[in-house]
Amino acid sequence: MTTLNTTERAALLEALLLVSTEPLTLGQVMTVTEDKDKAGWEAAFAVLDERFKAHTGMLLQQAASGWRLVTAPDCEGPVNKFLKITSRQRLSRAAFEVLAIAAYHQPITLPEINQIRGANSSNSVNTLLEKRLLRIVGRKPVVGRPFLFGTTKEFLLLFNLNSLDDLPKQEEMGALETE
């Protein structure tokens, strides 16, 4: 592929983002275009980000170590109506607690989750597995070999995180609770 200018790269990125079902990484873009100019592609992402911020119906969002197009918040109502989405499915408090425990302590077993929560969490774990927010990442090498659970890419996307390093620090969470 011939060398592209920033505007051409931004247009190509927009097309790739439109057809991509997963967040698009810089590495994927450079591989598919055979253009290894990292700085040029980063500039194109910045141009595209600014274009979408100029009040369009979509936004460029970085999540799960890639970029994706999302609906602008002020368009949510009409888009949901068009797609016939009547309500958001929310996690129960118990499921949210289990997800937080797993995110901060992964890999973790169900008995360890139960011990931290002080309650049986098997239903919540099953719900999170069904919603693909948790996955089985292995077995702990102890008697009974219980499953080890960890978060998924869908978890990162749902909470708009690039990696688990972007989770708030546990000390920050304690400070929020006291406020």
Q: Give the whole-number percent of the chain exceeding pLDDT 90.
A: 63
| 86-95 mean pLDDT | 85
Give yes or no for residue 169 having a pLDDT over 80. Answer: yes
For the chain, the structural domain boundaries read: 6-72, 93-178
The angle formed by the CA atoms of residues 65, 30 and 164, to the nearest 5 degrees, is 10
- Integer CA distances (angstroms), 40 to 43, 53, 57, 131, 161, in order: 5, 20, 26, 37, 24
Task: Give the CATH number of domain 6-72.
Answer: 1.10.10.10
| Across 7-27, average pLDDT | 93
With H, G, I as helix, E, B as strand and everything else as coil, classify residue 7: helix
Dihedral angle, C-alpha 87, 76, 22, 159, nearest 10 °: -70
CATH topology of 6-72 equal to that of 93-178? yes
Per-residue pLDDT reduced to its tens digit, 40-75: 999 999 999 999 888 788 999 988 889 999 988 888
CATH class of the domain at 93-178: mainly alpha
End-to-end CA distance of the chain: 55
What does pTM read for this prediction? 0.71
- Rounded alpha-carbon distances, angstroms, from residue 21 to 69, 93, 123, 147: 10, 30, 30, 30
Measured between alpha carbons, how far is 92 from 127 in angstroms, rounded to an integer?
A: 10
In the predicted model, is pLDDT for residue 32 greater than 60? yes
Helices of type H across the chain: 6-19, 26-33, 38-53, 76-82, 93-105, 110-117, 122-130, 153-158, 170-178
